[in-house]
Amino acid sequence: MAQAKMMTPSDIVERNILLTKEIMRYLLDNPQVFSSLPDKFELVVLPEDEPEMRLYNLDLLDKYGSEGKPIVFARVKVEGENITIQDRPSLYAPISI
């Protein structure tokens, strides 16, 4: 049975950059989405099909925080190694009460 390759931190950073690019492309193609998002937000990418990367990103958020900025979580499904987002990202902005 084949084992999944462990991602190094540099692999995760590279994939984060590529995923962020795809999410930004989606936002620029759909500018109406910005009206639902807070100003000057911190984006946290949560790939649904890459649990190691998702946990790494949540650990970064826990360790460094959002520097007082609102957080927007982007859940995405990634199509293989080529970093193509399968569907539009699901964006969540928690509200403070």
Helical segments of the chain, H only? 9-29, 51-64
pTM of the model: 0.81
**In this structure, how many other beta carbons lie within 10 angstroms of the beta carbon of residue 21?**
11
Per-residue model confidence as pLDDT tens digits over 23-46: 999 999 999 999 999 999 999 999
**CATH numbers and ranges of domains, the chain:** 9-92 (3.40.1350.20)
Per-residue model confidence as pLDDT tens digits over 41-74: 999 999 988 899 999 999 999 998 878 889 999 9
